[in-house]
Amino acid sequence: MSHPIAGRITFNLVAGIVVTIVTVISGVAWMAYRQNDQAAEQTRTMVMGGVDAMHTRVQGLANDYSWWEEAYDAYLRDDNAWIEANIGTGIIDTQIADFLAIISPDRELKYGWWTPADAPNSETVMSPKLIAKIEELIRTAPIENNAARSSYVETAAGTLLFAVSRIAPVSKVDTVKAENLPVLVMGFYLSNQRLSELGRTFLINDLRLERENLDKLDNDFPEIRDIYGEVIGRFVWTPPTPGFAVLRNVVAPIAGGLLLFCLIAMWTVLRARRLALSQALSERQAVTAARTDSLTGLTNRYGFNELSDSAQFSDACDAGEAAIIYLDVNGFKSVNDSIGHAGGDELVGLLAERLSMILPPDARFARVGGDEFAVALTGRSASAAVAGVASAMVHALDQPFSVAGFQFQVTAAVGYAVSDGNEVTPAELLRRADLAMYQAKNAAERDAVPYHSGLETGALHRKRLGMALRGAIEGNELSVAYQPIVRASDLAIVSVEALVRWDSKEFGRVSPAEFIPVAEETGVIHDIGKFVFQRACQDMIEWPGLKMSINVSPAQLRDPSFANDLGAIARRHDVVPNRFKLELTEGLLVRNPTIAKRKLARLKSMGFGLSLDDFGTGFSSIGYLRQFPFDWLKIDKSFISELGTNPTANALIQSMIALGDAMDIAVVAEGIETVEQLQLLRLLQCEYVQGFHLAKPMSAAEITALLAGLGESRRLFPDLAPPPMLDKDRLINLVQS
């Protein structure tokens, strides 16, 4: 079956071939005709030049015979013998002219000669009317040499080209008057022989004077007018056609070239058609591929969005005959971390296959994310069937999956929404299903959750937070604050902790405790982590010798490229990794200790320092200190807040400090808010302290100003007394108090 694109391409190529052929033929023909026109114009110019030369010749003869003092004197004394011997005989014998006459000042024909013998005699030609026109023609001519005038007159012997001039004495030219001088008329007939000879000098074989049907002749042929102003003929010839001669010579090569061009062009057309058909097939396959998930063969997010945006689905929503189910797999990332992405891909394929088996035949099943799936149901039974389908999808995962020789048990958070016919748009239906799934995930529900208006509270807020957080970096809404970490012995600043802050245009100042979990759920935490690390590298350039603590989320550490990304950013800003301490919580260590140990070892080998954050709040922190290469541990502020008031907290803090000393791990106590807490920690010989009592989080510029004000000592309180020595009795009293 022909494709419209292939048809258009074929048409365009054939049209191009035709246009090319027509253009070549037209161009060659135009050049031939153009060359003919140029040759005709050139020939006309030469003919006109030849005619002018005839006029010049007859005028020259007339001047020679008239500017002759002996001839003038002979005329005055009526010396007929002299005139006959010197003027008349020259015409008859030498035949330098066909006609010669001398007219007296009183307009009488005085002398006349003509050839050939059968030509009209002088009396016949020189009629009173012609003599009057000749007098009129010569009237304005001066009495001097080269003053002849020429014109034409039609006679019985043909067209006579003649010139007239006054016979004047050379020595008396200034004393005689023009009207008292005789006039000499001299000329020759424009015979076909004479014109043919003239034409041959211009390579024209048929130059002639045409006297009939003048209105039918081309205006390009020059016309001649007689002395009375009447058109008596045109000089006519066959224009040369050198263009046609050239054309005859190039017709064969051009025809051969065009034939070869046509063969090549037709081959190109056929090949282009095949390519177009192949391209059209590839486009159809690409369109299908663009809407299909390559891993599972299901519709992908783009295809599902296209379905939900369709007019049919919109009509179903308006009629209350549409439903959407969203499913999110719990625990999927742990599978990737355990057996790699190839194993995770295999699990996704098995999961999609199992879910497909329980769906109705008319359901549209799609994979809309790495571990997210969606189902669209339409029709009158959609609203009644959706609850059962959603529940079946949840329980379809009750049986474990076997992947790469391992058994994996995964669960799913499923939410669904049904259009109620009250102008619920497809986009709103999608949002409701997503919100219901979000609720199922947060509440760890073991069954599908339907959408209801009660969900439009905290879950909606978290959803809106997630959407706003995606544009926070591009919108310059995120910033980094730094809180100093000081040495307890002399209160000198040794490090700062980078703390991300979010001033949202929509929500105002958002607490990290509120948006960090949302960032981890949505995956934005990776971009936020890179932003904080890059900003820290930029700011550290102004603080030589100062170390930097940066919090790392378990979600960041699960990223396979996390360590390489940090190393690349540090190298780009020329900052050595050993100036950083990466602070981690127990979450990652509890879930995947084997993977965590490998990744932390990788970071350690690159030079990054490691710190265990919120130490004491988990269940196995001491074991982690033995297994993992931590350099620092942070005593959680929940213990510090009870320091000095709770004996248990006092004992635990002392034990943590002693444990750090025993394992050669630096200890940082965070959350110092009173001078009493600081004094007690100094008494317990805690190595480093951090908190609002010492310094609040501040901007990079404020840190720079603070360090400049403290000088090289970097001591926050230079006048504070050194910590008291810790003896056994005071320690016992402190712990038991």
At which of 193, 215, 236 does a domain end?
A: 236
pLDDT of 48 > 70? The answer is yes
Q: What is the pLDDT of residue 477?
A: 93
Rounded Cα distance between 204 and 206, Å, is 6
Domain encompassing residue 72: 57-236
Domain contains 551: yes
Rounded Cα distance between 136 and 138, Å, is 6
DSSP characters for 196-213? Answer: HHHHHTTT-S--EEE-S-
pLDDT of 737 > 60? The answer is no
**Both 484 and 580 in a single domain?**
yes
Domain contains 6: no
The per-residue pLDDT for range 181-194, each reduced to its tens digit, is 899 999 988 887 88
Cβ atoms of residues 313 and 426 within 8 Å: yes
Cβ atoms of residues 533 and 552 within 8 Å: no
Domain contains 35: no
Beta-strand relationship, 493-504 and 547-551: parallel
At which of 202, 236, 270 does a domain end?
A: 236
Q: What is the pLDDT of residue 501?
A: 95
**Both 595 and 631 in a single domain?**
yes
At which of 236, 253, 285 does a domain end?
A: 236
**Banded pLDDT at 417 (limits 50, 70, 90):** very high
Domain contains 555: yes
* Residues 6+ away with beta carbon under 8 Å from 335: 343, 344, 347, 403, 408, 410
Q: Does the pTM of the predicted model rise above 0.85?
A: no
> Looking at residues 294-305, what average pLDDT do you find?
86
pLDDT of 513 > 90? The answer is no
The per-residue pLDDT for range 71-83, each reduced to its tens digit, is 888 888 889 889 8
**Both 550 and 647 in a single domain?**
yes
**Banded pLDDT at 229 (limits 50, 70, 90):** confident
**Both 489 and 567 in a single domain?**
yes
**Both 445 and 518 in a single domain?**
no
Rounded Cα distance between 673 and 681, Å, is 12
Whichever domain contains 347, its CATH number is: 3.30.70.270
Stretch (H or E) spanning 634:
strand 632-635
For 577, which DSSP code? G
**Banded pLDDT at 726 (limits 50, 70, 90):** very low
Q: What is the pLDDT of residue 533?
A: 95
Phi, psi of 476 (to 5 degrees): 55, 35
Partner residues linked to 548 by β-bridges: 496, 580
Least confident interval from 210-219, 342-351, 523-532: 210-219
**Both 306 and 231 in a single domain?**
no
Domain contains 540: yes
pLDDT of 43 > 80? The answer is no
Residue identified by tokens 């007018």 is 225
How many structural domains compose the chain? 3
Whichever domain contains 552, its CATH number is: 3.20.20.450
> Looking at residues 617-642, what average pLDDT do you find?
78
Rounded Cα distance between 1 and 708, Å, is 80
Angle at 417 between CA 349 and CA 425, to 5 degrees: 110
**Both 356 and 487 in a single domain?**
no
**Banded pLDDT at 569 (limits 50, 70, 90):** very high
Domain contains 412: yes
Name the residue type at position 465: L
pLDDT of 415 > 90? The answer is yes
Share of the chain above pLDDT 90, in %: 23
Burial group, residue 330, by CB count within 10 angstroms (0-12, 13-18, 19+): middle
Domain contains 471: no
pLDDT of 243 > 50? The answer is yes
**Both 418 and 483 in a single domain?**
no
Rounded Cα distance between 502 and 469, Å, is 9
Strands (E), 39-91: none
pLDDT of 728 > 50? The answer is no
Rounded Cα distance between 410 and 386, Å, is 22
The per-residue pLDDT for range 320-340, each reduced to its tens digit, is 889 999 999 887 766 776 677
> Looking at residues 292-300, what average pLDDT do you find?
84
> Looking at residues 300-312, what average pLDDT do you find?
87
Q: What is the pLDDT of residue 568?
A: 94
**Both 431 and 529 in a single domain?**
no
Cβ atoms of residues 448 and 414 within 8 Å: yes
Burial group, residue 454, by CB count within 10 angstroms (0-12, 13-18, 19+): exposed
Domain contains 287: no
**Both 502 and 534 in a single domain?**
yes
Stretch (H or E) spanning 461:
helix 458-470
**Both 401 and 498 in a single domain?**
no
Whichever domain contains 76, its CATH number is: 3.30.450.20
Highest mean pLDDT: which range of 538-547, 615-624, 625-634, 719-728: 538-547
Residue 268 vs residue 114, higher pLDDT: 114
Residue 281 vs residue 211, higher pLDDT: 211
**Both 689 and 613 in a single domain?**
yes
pLDDT of 106 > 80? The answer is yes
Collapsed DSSP state (helix, strand, coil) of residue 159: strand
Q: What is the average pLDDT score of the chain?
A: 83
